[in-house]
Amino acid sequence: MLKRLPLLVIITLILINPVQAVEIKENRASWVCYDWSTWYNSENPEWKIVTISEHRFFYGVSHMVNYQLEGENLIIHDEFYKLDYTIYDFKNSGLFFHFWEEEQTPVRNYKFLRANSP
């Protein structure tokens, strides 16, 4: 009887307090550049994702945006700031870019990234 007591208690608690489904609502007010870039990419797959930084290992502040490559220029769509702009001759811009490949999932947190080319 003592072995069945915990099971009886659990069943009684479930019957007294039925488990209710919790609906998690999306709160876009708390989204950061990662959320906006991945969302925009899912809605517009022709816009790829890039992380931009002033540090070669992406320490400190970096920013994730969507891009399209046009020759040596990056056409940027920044859904976080609601801006569109172009970085001309991006390889000589003094900035570092980590281009997320299609088979990669962008990460929100990292210790460091390395710059790469599309």
pLDDT, greater one: 37 or 21: 37
Contact between residue 81 and residue 57 where contact means Cβ atoms under 8 Å apart: no
- Model pTM above 0.85: no
State how far the alpha carbon of 91 is from the alpha carbons of 43, 87, 94, in Å.
28, 9, 8
Distance in angstroms (rounded) separating the CA atoms of residues 56 and 112: 9
8's tokens:
């009886």
Domain ranges of the chain: 25-118
pLDDT, greater one: 110 or 25: 110
What DSSP designation does 83 have? Answer: E
Give 22's pLDDT tier (boundaries 50, 70, 90): low
